[in-house]
């Protein structure tokens, strides 16, 4: 089968990406029961079927259903969304991703980390210095939580 076009398949959840030529598209379609012909289908038909069926494909990395398709290009354009920060969950600005493609955290969280103000740091009791614990209050109705020192009981 001649390679006339290629498509880029991407998971919107984990950002897994693969470039598929016509043979790879046929393979994806056959694995998912979307193409059962024994004959060699036209590349334009394969391309159209692949684009329509991609929303029902599941990601091999995270298992999310609903992959995105776009024509494969050499440049790494943004897909209309950016990668989320692993610390705060906010989108990492595209400028930062261009400057540091492998980054997993936003600039704000990176600054906090370098300054020693990581969000993963435990909270200490101001009275005795023990590590505070998050505990649920004992009451009827809505669950409420408070930071409590296990040593001296300070809230």
Is the domain of 115 the same as that of 133?
Answer: no
Distance CA 26, CA 57 (A): 13
**Residue 1 in domain:** no
Residue 100, CB half-sphere, CA atoms under 13 Å: how many? 9
In a domain, 27, yes or no: yes
Query: Does some domain include residue 76?
Result: no
- Domain of residue 150, residue span: 122-155
Say which residue, 137 or 24, is predicted with more confidence: 24
Average pLDDT over residues 102-120: 77
Return the pLDDT at 38: 63
Per-residue pLDDT, averaged over 1-12, amounts to 69
Residue range 107-131: mean pLDDT, rounded: 77
Q: Enter the pTM of the model.
A: 0.45
Structure tokens at 136: 């649920």
Number of domains in the chain: 3
Q: What is the pLDDT of residues 19-74, one digit of tens each?
A: 888 888 888 888 888 877 667 778 888 888 888 888 888 888 888 888 888 777 65
pLDDT at 91: 79
């Amino acid at each position: 089968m001649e390679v006339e076009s290629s498509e880029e398949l991407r998971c919107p959840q984990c950002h897994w990406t693969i470039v598929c030529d016509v043979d790879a598209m046929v393979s994806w379609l056959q694995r998912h029961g979307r193409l059962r012909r024994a004959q060699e289908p036209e590349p334009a038909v394969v391309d159209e079927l692949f684009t329509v069926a991609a929303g029902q494909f599941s990601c091999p990395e995270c298992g999310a259903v609903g992959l995105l398709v776009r024509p494969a290009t050499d440049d790494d354009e943004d897909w209309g969304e950016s990668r989320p920060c692993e610390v705060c969950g906010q989108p990492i600005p595209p400028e930062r991703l261009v400057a540091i493609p492998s980054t997993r955290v936003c600039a704000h969280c990176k600054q906090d980390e370098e300054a020693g103000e990581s969000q993963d740091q435990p909270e200490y009791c101001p009275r005795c210095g023990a590590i505070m614990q998050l505990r649920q209050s004992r009451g009827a109705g809505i669950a409420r939580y408070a930071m409590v020192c296990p040593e001296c009981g300070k809230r």
